[in-house]
Amino acid sequence: AQSVTQPDIHITVSEGASLELRCNYSYGATPYLFWYVQSPGQGLQLLLKYFSGDTLVQGIKGFEAEFKRSQSSFNLRKPSVHWSDAAEYFCAVVPILTGGGNKLTFGTGTQLKVEL
């Protein structure tokens, strides 16, 4: 079945430490890939996206993500986490289908806690 998996429900890191949030997808072909962030009580904000080309994509707030076709993964990284990065992070995909159909499907999210 087609799916998006974020295996880590909660992650805690110390401020200044590096961060990697995992995302795996299961689709027949490489979908379009996104990372969104949700701060408490807020809507979702796009961090970055991958459509094609360079497999390392840069986003806002110092985040980057690397697409690895062989692993069906699109992991989100940040070299040094700030306390303001505490939020919930969602990986999302749009399957590339012929004949239309481009609905965004979200993973279940990873809650990031930052210890000072």
Partner 1 sequence: NAGVTQTPKFQVLKTGQSMTLQCAQDMNHNSMYWYRQDPGMGLRLIYYSASEGTTDKGEVPNGYNVSRLNKREFSLRLESAAPSQTSVYFCASSVQGDSGANVLTFGAGSRLTVL
Contact positions toward partner 1, by CB under 8 A? Answer: 9, 32, 34, 41-46, 49, 51, 90, 94, 96, 100-109
Q: Work out how close the CB of 14 gets to partner 1 at its nearest, in angstroms, rounded to a whole number.
A: 26
Smallest gap, in angstroms, from Cβ of residue 61 to partner 1?
16
Q: What are phi and psi of 103, to 5 degrees?
A: -85, 140
Least separation in angstroms between CB 20 and partner 1: 19
Nearer to partner 1, 80 or 108 (CB): 108
The residue among 15 and 106 lying less far from partner 1, judged by its C-beta, is: 106
Count Cβ neighbours within 10 Å for each residue of 89-111 and write b for 16 or more, e otherwise.
bbbbbbbeeeeeeeeeeebebbe
**Pairing of β 3-5 and β 32-38:** unpaired
| Residues 80/17, Cβ–Cβ less than 8 Å | yes
Distance CA 37, CA 43 (A): 8
Nearest residue (CB) to partner 1, 74 versus 107: 107
- Nearer to partner 1 by Cβ, of 18 and 102: the residue is 102
